[in-house]
Amino acid sequence: MWHPYLGVETKTEKKYEALKLLGIGGLLLALQALMSYKHAKEMRDNIETTERGQQRLKNAIEYLGNDRDSVRLGGAYELFHLAEDDEDLGQRQTVLDILCAHIRRTVGEPEYREKYQSKPSEEIQSLLTLLFVQEHRVFTGLHINLQESWLNGSDLDQARLENAVLVRAQLYGALLAGAQLHEVSNNPED
């Protein structure tokens, strides 16, 4: 700024302009640091959430291998809730594959088939109800593989089994009233 009497810029004005520039630069630097901090915190939170989800998945799978029905069912419910919590749908097919594999493995045992010839165990019926019969739509539109499953006498009334693979599945005496069986595969060639 010009001094009114001398026609030259004063030192005070130069200092003021320099401080003003430094203040704006400092403010921009502080804003950038704040944004970097928020971004880093968000990334850390995402990593922690992913790690918690992976730990939940690991624990639930371990429970499926337990000798007690109640523990296995608890693991299955934990997997179900993990899929339900999955907002981006990435783990839902994986969880459904694990639960269907558990059903196939359990009902594939000769001892199981001997003991539950005409009606499924409470564990298997509970899983079928949770996955396909109840109002939950967690697994809608996903690939269901129950091939070679021993499901005699199962209550699958109103079950959502669209596009399910039921090749060589045993369904004698199963209740299928109102079941959605659109494009179910029962042909080994499909």
- Say if 3 falls within a structural domain: no
- Say if 107 falls within a structural domain: yes
How many angstroms separate the CA atoms of 53 and 173, rounded?
A: 39
pTM for the structure as a whole: 0.71
- Say if 25 falls within a structural domain: yes
Question: Is 187's pLDDT higher than 80?
Answer: no
Q: Which residues pair with 180 in a beta bridge?
A: 160
**What domain range includes position 53?**
10-190
Four-point Cα dihedral 134, 139, 145, 146, nearest 10? -10
Alpha helices in 109-143 (DSSP H): 110-115, 122-128
For residue 186, name the pLDDT band (cuts at 50, 70, 90).
low
Average pLDDT over residues 64-78: 91
- pLDDT at residue number 149: 95
How many angstroms separate the CA atoms of 69 and 49, rounded?
A: 29
How far, CA to CA in Å, does 166 sit from each of 31, 110, 122, 149, 170? 59, 19, 21, 8, 9
- pLDDT at residue number 98: 94
- Say if 151 falls within a structural domain: yes
20-24, 77-81, 149-153: least confidently modelled range: 20-24
- Say if 119 falls within a structural domain: yes
Average pLDDT over residues 25-54: 69
How many structural domains comprise the chain? Answer: 1
Report the mean per-residue pLDDT for the chain.
82
